[in-house]
Structure 1
Amino acid sequence: MASNVSDSSATAPRDVPRVARDAAEGRPPIIGITTYLQRAQTGVWDVEAAFLPRVYLDGVIAAGGVPVLLPPQPLGPGVIDTALARLDGLVVSGGVDVDPARYGAAPHPRTDTPNRLRDDWEFALLDRALEVDLPFLAICRGMQVLNVLRGGTLHQHLPDVVGDDRYQRGGGRFSRVDVRVTPGSRLSGLVGPSVHAAVYHHQAIDRPGDGLVVTARSEDDVVEAVEIPDAAHALAVQWHPEEDADDRRLFQSLIDAARAWNGARV
């Protein structure tokens, strides 16, 4: 009986590496997104769970990518390379504060209890992504992970710096702040000279890490974006672009870079 399923061997030999066949057949980029791993409740269940707000998935899907969740897990031989082998891009998501010990600081009373498993996982993922020049978008905590990975430091509680809680009101309610973008940066080419950004962070970059260029600041001079200019796509923002369903430009930029990166490695 004839099958109505297309035979990929008609367009790509079976001995061609799978990533090459994927690129040749125009398949959407696969984007890994880091997740929480902590206690969660749903229905009758109250269990440890890996989870992520849907808006991250929506951002990747709307831009033409296929999201794959990357829950924190112990690091063993080959784990990071295996996790990244089939990815065309990476999103490092928001979440709890980075362990201050990683940048040589004592914890502030308002700093979250560290999730060292997640720290270890995301630092290793991002470090390897930088080594192989895998396109990535780091969001909120993700930007802080990038900064600390590159030797930078953080303000542990912004109200101590700006005088109030305008960047994180609490209760899961996002604030909006005006962010000015550096002309000529990758970010300015995507969003223009300014962004009215959704924010929910009580920490921020203090000293930028090696090789990171600050490309956006708030009216309080709080760092709101950094990038690595000579990388394929190394962009990090302190705000939450996934919250803007009508503006997918940052996700689209990642998907475009991921598609190009996949084609280049083929």
Structure 2
Amino acid sequence: MPFARRPRIGLCTALERARWTVWDREAFLLSRAYVDALQGAGAIAMMLPPDEWVAEHPDDVLEGLDGLMLAGGADIDPSSYGGPRHPKVTNTRVDRDRAEIALFGRALERDLPILGICRGMQLMNVARGGTLIQHLPEDVGHTDHRRALGSFDNADHDVRLEPGSLAARACGETLHATKSHHHQAVDALGEGIVPTGWSVLDDLVEAIELPEAAWALGVQWHPEVDPRSRVVRAFVHEAALVAA
């Protein structure tokens, strides 16, 4: 059923060195899969680059949005959660961390639907005072959460979801097949964060939520690249209720 108004989703972007046509410069970018997933679910994607002004004035952005998606990307800087820096932590952007933490905090206060994907789930935890495992192979003893750099090939594993949880309702099942690409994960849980999904590989936390929030879900996997996944559609449906 078409929405009365297409919900506007703020989609946080990365700042990376990139090449296109004849150019090799810094660029604000994301995989097209995020935008395609949002548009396919009936939303308008509004890309939000890191911005020091937004870090101090998040309402200036959120005022025009019906939901916030925290996308994947490079590692969160350990200074954001007071941790020592592991040698495998790379390409961090403190400006991105600060802006997204501010946007997430105010989106919660404004009761906007929030979906955190991969790095975005980790950001949700850090924003609430939690910490991260900085390099998973040293913690879990295998590389099955990121088997091939830059690829989702052979990146499937199942996640078991707490029955009745927001994660289970969004996925429509309690055993969910996922596509994974990460070398970090949630460690100590932030304030109010509840784990509701665990990898069948090693019981690593792979879904979190905030019961106090209107709709706030973090998933460690990448539903935007899986046409079978209902997660993005569930998120957009909630944003459409805000837009109505």
TM-score (normalised: structure 1): 0.86
Match of 1:161 in 2: 139
- For 1:236 and 1:76, the matched residues in 2 are separated by 22
How many equivalent pairs are there? 238
1:42 and 2:11 correspond: no
* Corresponding residue number in structure 2 for 1:187: 167
* Partner residue in 2 for 1:105: 83
Amino acid at match of 1:251: V
- The 3-state SS of whatever aligns with 1:32 is strand
CA shift for structure 1 position 178: 1.2
Choose which of 92, 104, 123 in structure 2 pairs with 1:126: 104
Q: Is the 8 A contact 2:116 2:217 kept in 1?
A: yes
Partner residue, 2:206: 224
Ranges in structure 2 where 5+ consecutive residues have no aligned partner: none
Shift in alpha-carbon separation, 1:40–1:186, aligned structure 2, 3 A: same
Q: 1:178 aligns with which of 158, 161, 167?
A: 158
The DSSP-based 3-state class of the residue aligned with 1:75 is: helix
**2:129 aligned residue (125, 128, 151):** 151
Query: Of 203, 207, 226, which residue of structure 2 is paired with 1:244?
Result: 226
Contact 1:180 1:194 in 2 (8 A): yes
What is the deviation of 1:196?
A: 1.3
Are the structure 2 counterparts of residues 66 and 116 from structure 1 closer, same or farther at C-alpha, using a change threshold of 3 Å? same
What is the distance in 2 between the residues matched to 1:27 and 1:128?
Answer: 23
Deviation at 1:190, TM superposition (A): 2.5
Q: Distance in 1 between matches of 2:243 and 2:56?
A: 21
The superposition leaves residues 106-154 of structure 1 with CA deviations (integer Å, 9 ceiling, x where unpaired) of 1111111421111111111111111111111000000111101111111
Cα 1:164/1:118, change in 2 over 3 Å: same
Aligned-residue CA RMSD in angstroms?
1.5
Distance 1:262 1:180 in 2: 32
Contact 2:55 2:98 in 1 (8 A): no
Contact 2:192 2:212 in 1 (8 A): no
| SS class of match (2:6) | coil
Identity %: 45
The alpha-carbon deviation at position 260 of structure 1 amounts to 1.4
CA distance in 1, matches of 2:96, 2:83: 19
Find the counterpart in structure 2 of residue 256 from structure 1.
237
| In 1, Cα distance between equivalents of 2:108 and 2:161 | 24
Q: For the Cα contact (< 8 Å) 1:232–1:261, is it kept in 2?
A: no
Q: Secondary structure at the match of 2:232?
A: helix
In structure 1, stretches of 5+ residues that fail to align are 1-24
Which one-letter code corresponds to 1:250 in the other structure? V
Matched, 1:87 2:65: yes
1:71-128 CA distances to partner (integer Å, 9 max, x unpaired)? 1112269742111111001100001111112222111111114211111111111111
Q: Secondary structure at the match of 2:144?
A: coil
Alignment of 1:69-80 (within 5 A): 69-75=47-53, 79-80=57-58
The amino acid of 1:184's aligned partner reads: G
Structure 2 residue matching 1:195: 3-state secondary structure: strand
What's 1:67 paired with? 45
Alignment partner of 1:212 out of 161, 168, 193? 193
Give TM-score scaled by structure 2 length.
Answer: 0.93
Q: Mean alpha-carbon deviation: is it higher for 78-87 or for 93-102?
A: 78-87
Give the superposition deviation at 1:170: 3.3
Following superposition, which runs of at least 4 residues in structure 1 exceed 4 angstroms of deviation? none
Aligned to 2:7: 29
